[in-house]
Amino acid sequence: MRGPYKTQTRENIMKAAWELFQEKGYENASISSIIERSNSSRSAFYHHFHSKEELLFSVAYTYDDDYDFWLHQFYREDKHTVDNLISYNTFVMKVVETSSYKSLYPHLYGLQVMTDGVRHILNPERRYYQILRELLKNGFEKGELNSPHSYAVLTDMITSFQIGIIYSWCLQKERYALIQYAQDLLNPFLNSLRAD
Protein backbone atom coordinates (compact mmCIF):
# COMPACT_ATOMS: atom_id res chain seq x y z
CA MET A 1 0.00 0.00 0.00
CA ARG A 2 1.09 3.59 -0.57
CA GLY A 3 0.55 7.17 0.43
CA PRO A 4 -2.29 8.05 2.80
CA TYR A 5 -3.38 4.42 2.94
CA LYS A 6 -0.19 3.28 4.65
CA THR A 7 0.17 3.49 8.42
CA GLN A 8 1.31 0.71 10.72
CA THR A 9 -1.94 0.69 12.72
CA ARG A 10 -4.02 0.60 9.56
CA GLU A 11 -1.92 -2.24 8.15
CA ASN A 12 -2.20 -4.20 11.42
CA ILE A 13 -5.99 -3.84 11.37
CA MET A 14 -6.19 -4.87 7.72
CA LYS A 15 -3.91 -7.88 8.22
CA ALA A 16 -5.89 -9.06 11.27
CA ALA A 17 -9.19 -8.58 9.47
CA TRP A 18 -8.20 -10.51 6.36
CA GLU A 19 -6.85 -13.36 8.48
CA LEU A 20 -10.12 -13.52 10.39
CA PHE A 21 -12.21 -13.19 7.23
CA GLN A 22 -10.41 -16.23 5.85
CA GLU A 23 -10.51 -18.24 9.08
CA LYS A 24 -14.09 -17.49 10.16
CA GLY A 25 -15.69 -16.09 7.03
CA TYR A 26 -16.58 -12.45 6.48
CA GLU A 27 -19.95 -12.63 8.25
CA ASN A 28 -18.54 -14.32 11.37
CA ALA A 29 -15.53 -12.05 11.89
CA SER A 30 -16.58 -9.33 14.31
CA ILE A 31 -15.09 -5.87 14.67
CA SER A 32 -14.23 -6.75 18.27
CA SER A 33 -12.22 -9.79 17.18
CA ILE A 34 -10.42 -7.68 14.54
CA ILE A 35 -9.52 -5.07 17.15
CA GLU A 36 -8.30 -7.76 19.54
CA ARG A 37 -6.17 -9.56 16.95
CA SER A 38 -4.63 -6.32 15.68
CA ASN A 39 -3.78 -5.10 19.21
CA SER A 40 -5.49 -1.82 18.47
CA SER A 41 -8.37 0.09 19.99
CA ARG A 42 -11.95 0.74 18.91
CA SER A 43 -11.10 4.41 18.36
CA ALA A 44 -8.12 3.43 16.18
CA PHE A 45 -10.34 1.10 14.15
CA TYR A 46 -12.93 3.81 13.50
CA HIS A 47 -10.23 6.37 12.78
CA HIS A 48 -9.14 4.26 9.78
CA PHE A 49 -12.38 2.49 8.79
CA HIS A 50 -16.04 3.42 9.01
CA SER A 51 -17.19 -0.19 9.01
CA LYS A 52 -16.19 -3.81 8.55
CA GLU A 53 -17.53 -3.48 5.00
CA GLU A 54 -15.08 -0.68 4.20
CA LEU A 55 -12.28 -2.78 5.65
CA LEU A 56 -13.19 -5.59 3.27
CA PHE A 57 -13.10 -3.17 0.34
CA SER A 58 -9.56 -2.13 1.22
CA VAL A 59 -8.30 -5.58 0.16
CA ALA A 60 -7.90 -3.99 -3.29
CA TYR A 61 -4.82 -2.10 -2.06
CA THR A 62 -2.96 -5.32 -1.22
CA TYR A 63 -2.48 -5.96 -4.93
CA ASP A 64 -0.84 -2.62 -5.72
CA ASP A 65 2.64 -3.83 -4.71
CA ASP A 66 2.16 -6.70 -7.18
CA TYR A 67 1.40 -4.21 -9.96
CA ASP A 68 4.58 -2.29 -9.14
CA PHE A 69 6.41 -5.61 -9.38
CA TRP A 70 5.00 -6.08 -12.91
CA LEU A 71 6.13 -2.57 -13.85
CA HIS A 72 9.70 -3.22 -12.72
CA GLN A 73 10.01 -6.81 -13.90
CA PHE A 74 7.85 -7.21 -17.00
CA TYR A 75 7.26 -3.80 -18.57
CA ARG A 76 9.53 -3.34 -21.59
CA GLU A 77 10.19 0.06 -23.11
CA ASP A 78 11.10 -1.60 -26.42
CA LYS A 79 7.80 -3.50 -26.67
CA HIS A 80 4.74 -2.15 -28.43
CA THR A 81 2.28 -0.52 -26.03
CA VAL A 82 -0.41 -3.07 -26.87
CA ASP A 83 1.94 -5.93 -26.02
CA ASN A 84 2.66 -4.30 -22.66
CA LEU A 85 -1.09 -3.83 -22.09
CA ILE A 86 -1.68 -7.53 -22.86
CA SER A 87 1.13 -8.48 -20.49
CA TYR A 88 -0.33 -6.25 -17.77
CA ASN A 89 -3.84 -7.65 -18.22
CA THR A 90 -2.50 -11.21 -17.98
CA PHE A 91 -0.54 -10.33 -14.84
CA VAL A 92 -3.56 -8.65 -13.19
CA MET A 93 -5.67 -11.73 -13.81
CA LYS A 94 -2.94 -14.03 -12.51
CA VAL A 95 -2.74 -11.99 -9.29
CA VAL A 96 -6.52 -12.19 -8.88
CA GLU A 97 -6.76 -15.90 -9.72
CA THR A 98 -3.93 -16.98 -7.42
CA SER A 99 -4.66 -14.62 -4.51
CA SER A 100 -5.02 -16.07 -1.03
CA TYR A 101 -7.94 -13.63 -0.62
CA LYS A 102 -10.03 -14.93 -3.51
CA SER A 103 -12.52 -16.55 -1.09
CA LEU A 104 -13.48 -12.95 -0.17
CA TYR A 105 -14.31 -11.89 -3.75
CA PRO A 106 -18.03 -12.78 -3.63
CA HIS A 107 -18.48 -10.52 -0.60
CA LEU A 108 -16.18 -7.88 -2.03
CA TYR A 109 -17.99 -7.60 -5.35
CA GLY A 110 -21.48 -8.06 -3.93
CA LEU A 111 -21.10 -5.42 -1.24
CA GLN A 112 -19.39 -2.95 -3.58
CA VAL A 113 -22.55 -2.88 -5.68
CA MET A 114 -24.76 -2.17 -2.67
CA THR A 115 -22.64 0.27 -0.68
CA ASP A 116 -23.20 4.01 -0.53
CA GLY A 117 -19.70 4.40 0.88
CA VAL A 118 -16.27 4.51 -0.74
CA ARG A 119 -15.67 1.92 -3.44
CA HIS A 120 -11.95 1.34 -2.97
CA ILE A 121 -11.85 -1.04 -5.92
CA LEU A 122 -12.55 1.98 -8.17
CA ASN A 123 -10.19 4.45 -6.48
CA PRO A 124 -8.31 6.15 -9.35
CA GLU A 125 -5.37 6.80 -7.03
CA ARG A 126 -4.63 3.09 -6.69
CA ARG A 127 -1.35 2.00 -8.27
CA TYR A 128 -3.26 -0.29 -10.64
CA TYR A 129 -4.97 2.72 -12.27
CA GLN A 130 -1.83 4.86 -12.30
CA ILE A 131 0.11 2.22 -14.22
CA LEU A 132 -2.72 1.57 -16.70
CA ARG A 133 -3.23 5.28 -17.37
CA GLU A 134 0.51 5.80 -17.88
CA LEU A 135 0.74 2.87 -20.31
CA LEU A 136 -2.12 4.26 -22.39
CA LYS A 137 -0.90 7.87 -22.25
CA ASN A 138 2.60 6.84 -23.36
CA GLY A 139 1.10 4.70 -26.12
CA PHE A 140 -0.72 7.71 -27.57
CA GLU A 141 2.38 9.90 -27.23
CA LYS A 142 4.49 7.31 -29.10
CA GLY A 143 1.85 7.01 -31.84
CA GLU A 144 1.32 3.31 -31.12
CA LEU A 145 -2.36 3.58 -30.21
CA ASN A 146 -5.32 4.65 -32.27
CA SER A 147 -8.71 5.23 -30.67
CA PRO A 148 -11.43 7.89 -30.70
CA HIS A 149 -11.28 7.68 -26.89
CA SER A 150 -8.84 9.44 -24.60
CA TYR A 151 -6.40 7.45 -22.47
CA ALA A 152 -8.55 8.30 -19.41
CA VAL A 153 -11.68 6.87 -21.05
CA LEU A 154 -9.77 3.79 -22.22
CA THR A 155 -8.55 3.26 -18.65
CA ASP A 156 -12.18 3.16 -17.50
CA MET A 157 -13.16 0.85 -20.36
CA ILE A 158 -10.37 -1.66 -19.73
CA THR A 159 -11.08 -1.59 -16.00
CA SER A 160 -14.77 -2.23 -16.68
CA PHE A 161 -13.86 -5.21 -18.86
CA GLN A 162 -11.63 -6.63 -16.16
CA ILE A 163 -14.15 -6.10 -13.35
CA GLY A 164 -16.88 -7.73 -15.43
CA ILE A 165 -14.66 -10.70 -16.28
CA ILE A 166 -13.71 -11.23 -12.62
CA TYR A 167 -17.30 -10.80 -11.45
CA SER A 168 -18.51 -13.37 -14.00
CA TRP A 169 -15.74 -15.75 -12.87
CA CYS A 170 -16.98 -15.38 -9.28
CA LEU A 171 -20.59 -16.01 -10.36
CA GLN A 172 -19.44 -19.12 -12.21
CA LYS A 173 -17.73 -20.39 -9.01
CA GLU A 174 -14.26 -20.22 -10.62
CA ARG A 175 -15.10 -23.12 -12.92
CA TYR A 176 -12.70 -22.00 -15.64
CA ALA A 177 -9.21 -20.51 -15.83
CA LEU A 178 -9.52 -16.76 -15.30
CA ILE A 179 -6.29 -15.87 -17.08
CA GLN A 180 -7.23 -17.64 -20.33
CA TYR A 181 -10.81 -16.36 -20.20
CA ALA A 182 -9.59 -12.78 -19.75
CA GLN A 183 -7.12 -13.14 -22.61
CA ASP A 184 -9.83 -14.52 -24.91
CA LEU A 185 -12.19 -11.65 -24.11
CA LEU A 186 -9.91 -8.65 -23.65
CA ASN A 187 -6.95 -9.25 -25.96
CA PRO A 188 -8.98 -8.68 -29.17
CA PHE A 189 -10.06 -5.29 -27.82
CA LEU A 190 -6.50 -4.38 -26.83
CA ASN A 191 -5.21 -5.46 -30.25
CA SER A 192 -7.84 -3.25 -31.90
CA LEU A 193 -6.07 -0.24 -30.37
CA ARG A 194 -2.89 -0.78 -32.44
CA ALA A 195 -2.22 2.14 -34.74
CA ASP A 196 -1.84 1.15 -38.40
- Which pLDDT belongs to residue 113? 64
| Structural domains in the chain plus CATH codes | 3-49 (1.10.10), 60-191 (1.10.357.10)
Whole-number CA gyration radius for the chain: 18
Tell me how far apart the alpha carbons of residues 14 and 49 are, in angstroms, rounded to a whole number.
10
- Which pLDDT belongs to residue 2? 41
- Which pLDDT belongs to residue 124? 83
Q: What is the pLDDT of residues 57-78, one digit of tens each?
A: 777 777 888 999 999 999 999 9
Residues of the chain with pLDDT under 50: 1-5
Tell me how far apart the alpha carbons of residues 104 and 192 are, in angstroms, rounded to a whole number.
34
Q: What is the pLDDT of residues 139-153, one digit of tens each?
A: 999 999 999 999 999
Tell me how far apart the alpha carbons of residues 127 and 2 are, in angstroms, rounded to a whole number.
8
Q: Report DSSP letters for 92-108, one per residue.
A: HHHHHHH-TTGGGHHHH
| Nearest 10 degrees: Cα torsion 188, 109, 5, 101 | -90
- Which pLDDT belongs to residue 116? 65
CB 189 within 8 A of CB 136: no
- Which pLDDT belongs to residue 60? 77
Name the maximum alpha-carbon separation found in the chain. 59
- Which pLDDT belongs to residue 142? 96
